[in-house]
Amino acid sequence: MLAGKGIRAIAVMWAMTAISFILVPLRLYTRIYIVKALGVDDHVFNLAWVFLLLYTIFMTISGYYGFGQSITTLEMDMAVKAIYNEMIGQTFAVLGMAIAKISLGIFLLRIVVKQWHRISIWISMVSLAIVSVMTAILFWIQKLPSESIYDPRVPGRLVVKVTPFSILLGSWCAAVDFYFALLPWIFIWKLNMKFKEKMSIAISLSLGFIACVCGIIRTVDLGGLNSSNYTLDTVDLIIWSAVELAVTLICVGIPTVRPLYRVIVHGSNLEDSEGGYVKHNNSDKSSHVHMQNMAKGNTAFRAKDEGTTELYISRNNHSDEEVLVGQNNRTKRGIRVREEVRVETNY
């Protein structure tokens, strides 16, 4: 039965799982019915939440066998089952955190302008995935046979110390959180939009700073992995791992549900408004685009880059942010500047 610190840990984990789940249906509704641009990042986001759920479930099972209590007060069979289920839960946490951050990376790939932005995001995602998978594997083969890791009655030999890799993973997760939170402040200022809109979008995309702080705290608590009193000394690590994963999901989910917020609060309806997006090559210094049928009240902004101009067109109070989020829908709705549109280059 749950006892000791296990009660607090499991309660926090289920609370984090429930809070982060709120964003799952809200995000799906927003992307399917409001923005109409369901993408890969949405499926990756949902997968990350499933991993958080599995993490919580296995830690609850571990708590039933004694997680959160001193290992000296547990029967050997109970302690073995507690550690075994805790290790399974930690594996889901390690992979889930990487998946959640990859979801944000894929989302950022849809709205960044510069080529080096895309390259840096891909490097961050791929490297984080490699470190996460490597740490998860080493976690289970640090001793052979693997049963000797969680059952002291089974003789085994040490293959590799997993703590340095866990510290590397924790540090890299925090670094990726920091970079993904900082990146919007770099490219958002190139958009020709109101300062209030820039700040609103940049802040919503930069909530990952909170996950970065959680990741730093979790990394500090990694010392519990080497403790002989594993079921008790890893409580803080387990809690902060769940908090970091949940906060990452919340930070990733909030920017994508802002269009739904605008519909509810401001009454803007994307069904009645159309947005478009176009990219055209800027082979020289500047370009001038002639567009026809631009209704009064339409807004447009450009994000200029080396050799490329990103042109976003918004109609009927369609927010710039909603256009950013819904770029993948550009082939279905709204104004799109195609090849037949006259493009002149002036110097």
- Contact residues for 79 (Cβ-Cβ < 8 A; gap 6+): 65, 66, 71, 231
- pLDDT given at position 124: 95
Query: Letter for the amino acid at 317?
Result: N
Q: How far is CA 188 from the centre of its chain?
A: 19
Distance CA 36, CA 330 (A): 10
Look up the domain containing 210 and give its range: 5-266
- Same domain, yes or no, for 41 and 73? yes
The alpha carbons of the chain give a radius of gyration, in whole angstroms, of 24
Long-range own/partner contacts, residues 335-341 (CB < 8 A, 24 or more apart):
335/274, 335/275, 335/276, 335/291, 335/293, 335/294, 336/276, 336/277, 336/278, 337/276, 337/278, 337/280, 337/289, 337/291, 337/311, 337/313, 341/289, 341/290, 341/291, 341/292
- Same domain, yes or no, for 139 and 255? yes
- CATH of residue 124's domain is 1.20.1070
Distance CA 304, CA 45 (A): 30
203, 234, 266 - which closes a domain: 266
Q: Which of 227, 206, 115, 105 is nearest to 163 (CA)?
A: 227
- Same domain, yes or no, for 233 and 331? no
Domains in the chain: how many in total? Answer: 2
By the 8 A CB rule, do 275 and 300 touch?
A: no
pLDDT, averaged in runs of 10, over the chain (347 residues)? 87 96 94 88 95 97 93 92 95 95 90 88 96 95 92 92 89 91 82 73 80 85 75 90 91 86 73 38 40 40 40 39 45 37 44
pTM of structure: 0.77
- Same domain, yes or no, for 190 and 314? no
What are the C-alpha distances in Å from 186 to residues 43, 117, 189, 212, 223?
A: 27, 9, 7, 18, 36
Q: Which of 286, 210, 295, 290 is nearest to 246 (CA)?
A: 210
- Same domain, yes or no, for 257 and 281? no
- Same domain, yes or no, for 217 and 330? no
By the 8 A CB rule, do 28 and 43 touch?
A: no
By the 8 A CB rule, do 346 and 288 touch?
A: yes
- pLDDT given at position 35: 85
- Same domain, yes or no, for 173 and 315? no
Q: Residues of 59-79 as b/e, b for ≥16 C-beta within 10 angstroms? A: bbbbbbbbbbbebeebeeebb
By the 8 A CB rule, do 322 and 270 touch?
A: yes
214, 248, 266 - which closes a domain: 266
- pLDDT given at position 269: 53
* Structure token digits, residue 47: 């997968």
- Same domain, yes or no, for 215 and 251? yes
- Same domain, yes or no, for 12 and 119? yes
- Same domain, yes or no, for 55 and 84? yes
Q: Residue 288: is it exposed, middle or buried by C-beta count within 10 angstroms (0-12/13-18/19+)?
A: exposed
By the 8 A CB rule, do 240 and 93 touch?
A: no
Q: Residue 158: is it exposed, middle or buried by C-beta count within 10 angstroms (0-12/13-18/19+)?
A: exposed
- Same domain, yes or no, for 193 and 219? yes
Can you name the residues that pair with 313 across neighbouring β-strands?
Answer: 276, 300
213, 238, 266 - which closes a domain: 266
- pLDDT given at position 45: 95
Q: Is 307 left (phi over 0), alpha (psi -120 to 50) or beta?
A: left
- Same domain, yes or no, for 215 and 308? no
- Contact residues for 118 (Cβ-Cβ < 8 A; gap 6+): 109, 112
- pLDDT given at position 83: 94
Distance CA 275, CA 337 (A): 12
